[in-house]
Structure 1
């Protein structure tokens, strides 16, 4: 790609930043383009966000990445944060259900049990629910099926209500009866199509040897919210023109590229990467890719709120143990989960030994009314549930509420087909790539992988078809 090639990346969340890093050489490898990033808000990072609560630096958005999918860890290392990677101190989680905290049973995959003895020992299910799970029924699946429907048919509704819903909901803030098995848990679809026992298949999957020395999750000392800043700084050093408070007002195809209008300024780009939520992408593509816009308009989002609470350890009768707990919606509580941050992250305990920080989450798909409540009410609801769940009676000395009104895209049955149609329609327009949580997975590694694929696609579009030194090979997309 010659020095004259210009790529505009719309969106400064982790996907947009990663795409800019891959194209500019900031993440390693040669520079492939001159890149401009346009972020509508006043900061980069999107749902990766850090700040102080009670004088302690914490994550106010996402706090960890799935380390056994490598993209996020590799990007952190590429921008100089390799030495800051740190796994959780404890991953001992519980489920608050049937009036008690019960251990999350081992040997499960996204709540689907692979060890019925561990499930029985956990006490998560009633005797009736456990008996139903022991009498697994066979069922056929086609190209796709909702996770909740499939698991309920095989193992009973209670497995879905008390295990699958809280675990899957923690990832998607969605509803198991609507989330696509093919999109969200494809390894279970493979088991389903083999025609054998689901429990046995999950047991085999959960028992596979793990990569030696590789933790399941990783965070960063100082919080995962430090990652966007490090990627942005690396991009700027690589020559990226990174702009905040720069919403894109208009995007139009031209004979030789794209016309991008931001704040009255007209930019000309050889190619564009759209790394924004589906509604924003739909708005920008309405004129030149109406078919893609129509599909993107149909992508729904779940809203949620995170409530961070800072306590003085001296005020706690006894700090809670473990990493936190999940809450099945069927139990009718206000909160959906709680993370005991000071237990989970050693760096946080070391940096603030006299404080104890935890957080709760409220809201999920079609249950976003909590987002409209005052901060004080969300704090009060969180404290009421925490008192009942873990006996917490202390009052926090500081609080912070993070709201994500369109936090997580939903992946219903047929989602992957919709994504394929969006990309096909965008491809017909030419010199355009899309990436982010709406397409290839909602996790941070998935978003970075999506960005790598978008950068590779742009590289192919703008590079003569020699195959020499492609971005795809450079980035492992």
Structure 2
């Protein structure tokens, strides 16, 4: 495997046998950076271990939770203590309305009760305008605005999508980002009624999201340890310079060694994959080079509870860009995660996020300025007047791939161009979803692909070098 983010790491257990199945190959995993895990990272803030990257995983999609169990973390899975979120809009915290899907309402009564929209915006949403059936990919912002009005997009869809992609609703693909809405779009039926029907279907039992005591950043550590116990070789600080074709498979070139491999799983950001694939699949490389990324900064702060007359309510709040604030979201970590409250009962931890696609100037501000801007918005939103006794700023430059209109067609073209190479598969957030479960599912798909020989070729099991 090349790439030690969660996708590359997730592929390794299914090849090495660390996930509990049979060992399928000798595995070497190479990571250019100094650690494994990508956007999954824990660190210490104010003497408390806390996530500095992704903090939860969708449990209704099982792949990530299954991986955690397979590497010995079943006993530390823990759902959020509260999921009661708000929207900070029009100078007030307003409850995130129930009965919505990525901000698209399926319950107009709940939408009205939330007061997120102005009276005019609510009247427009109630007067849904029928639209023709959609036979091609569209931006989710335009799709919703035409039916329910611009305010639903600006104050609900935009902040929710921004929390996932750090992108823009008027550019993000409906097909790629919210595929549940695709059947509604294709039949041209009422949108609110269609979302209500979707949400009214029986759901799997259990929590919607899961975390891990100690932080989601402990997952890559556990996966790496399980793979090493199974005999896999995992190396950091080892960037791959070149991929060469050989009669038996691939030669992976690093600064220190050459690795002969029967097959390669390429789980790296799109620009890196483009450079490595350019000599072998120039069409795929050109498509990959066109994938854009968004950057964001996370500001994590630790307060003494004794300094807080009241703790902020709920799990946090989202901020619509239309309101012109510095932060785009705040998470009250000690409220959201009971394990944090137990680990540090005298500390209140929260974090804010700043930056989105093509609005990333915040990442170039110094840490003190980012903390100051976060505190100013928190004071305006929830009356937080205390100062933190510790803080940490984590910058994720080019952290989130964007899924614009046509993204899925681009991914299909990339995979078609790579398919004929044999013994090489792609995985990672740039393809089928940016969430942890989607990355794990993509890793499984890549494993299946490299273990399936091309017609007329011999078996590919053997050495998964890099």
Deviation per CA, 1:133-160: give whole Å up to 9, x if none. 0111112312211000000001000000
Query: What pairs with 1:202-217 in structure 2 (closer than 5 Å)?
Result: 202-212=195-205, 214-217=206-209
Counterparts of 1:462 and 1:68 in 2: how far apart (Å)?
Answer: 34
Q: Distance in 1 between matches of 2:342 and 2:455?
A: 49
Q: Quote the residue 1:378 is aligned against.
A: 370
Q: Distance in 1 between matches of 2:223 and 2:358?
A: 34
Is 2:159 the counterpart of 1:166?
A: yes
Structure 1 CA distance for aligned equivalents of residues 51 and 456 of structure 2: 43
Aligned to 1:101: 93
Q: Secondary structure at the match of 1:438?
A: helix
TM-score, L = length of structure 1: 0.95
User: Shift in Å at residue 264 of structure 1?
Assistant: 3.2
Tell me if structure 1 keeps the 8 A contact 2:277–2:284.
yes
Q: 1:46 aligns with which of 38, 41, 63?
A: 38
Question: What are the Cα deviations for residues 173-217 of structure 1, in whole angstroms up to 9, with x where unaligned?
Answer: 0000000000110111111222221000101111222222x1000
Contact preservation (8 Å) 2:291, 2:402: yes
CA deviation string 1:33-76 (max 9, x = no partner): 11100000010000000011000010000000000000000000
| Alignment map for 1:440-451 (pairs within 5 Å) | 440-451=432-443
Match of 1:180 among 173, 176, 181: 173
Matched, 1:114 2:106: yes
Match of 1:6 in 2: none
> Offset of 1:466 from its aligned partner?
11
Structure 2 residue aligned with 1:474: none
SS across alignment from 1:442: coil
Structure 2 counterpart of 1:392: 384
Hey, what does 1:222 align to over in structure 2? 214
Are residues 1:142 and 2:135 paired?
Answer: yes
1:399-410 alignment, distance < 5 Å: 399-410=391-402
SS of 1:429's equivalent in the other structure is coil
Mapped contact 2:295–2:399 kept (Cα < 8 A): yes
CA displacement 1:426-475 (0-9 Å, x = unmatched): 112221000000001000000000000000111113899999x9xxxxxx
1:285 aligns with 2:298: no
Q: Distance in 2 between matches of 1:277 and 1:319?
A: 39
Q: Structure 1: which 4+ aligned runs deviate by more than 6 Å? A: 462-467
Q: 2:232 matched to 1:236?
A: no
Contact 2:243 2:251 (C-alpha < 8 Å) held by counterparts: yes
- Aligned to 2:136, the other structure's residue is in SS state coil
- CA distance in structure 1 between the partners assigned to 2:373 and 2:306 by the alignment: 23
* Unpaired segments ≥5 residues, structure 1: 1-8, 470-477
Q: TM-score, normalised by structure 2?
A: 0.97
Supply the RMSD in Å over aligned alpha carbons: 1.4
Match of 2:310 in 1: 318
Q: State the Cα distance separating 1:20 from its structure 2 match.
A: 0.9
- Report the counterpart of residue 201 of structure 1 in structure 2: 194
Moved more, 392-401 or 24-33: 24-33
d(CA) in 2 for partners of 1:217 and 1:441?
16
* Length, aligned pairs only: 459
Quote the residue 1:55 is aligned against: 47
CA contact (8 A) 2:284 2:415 kept: yes
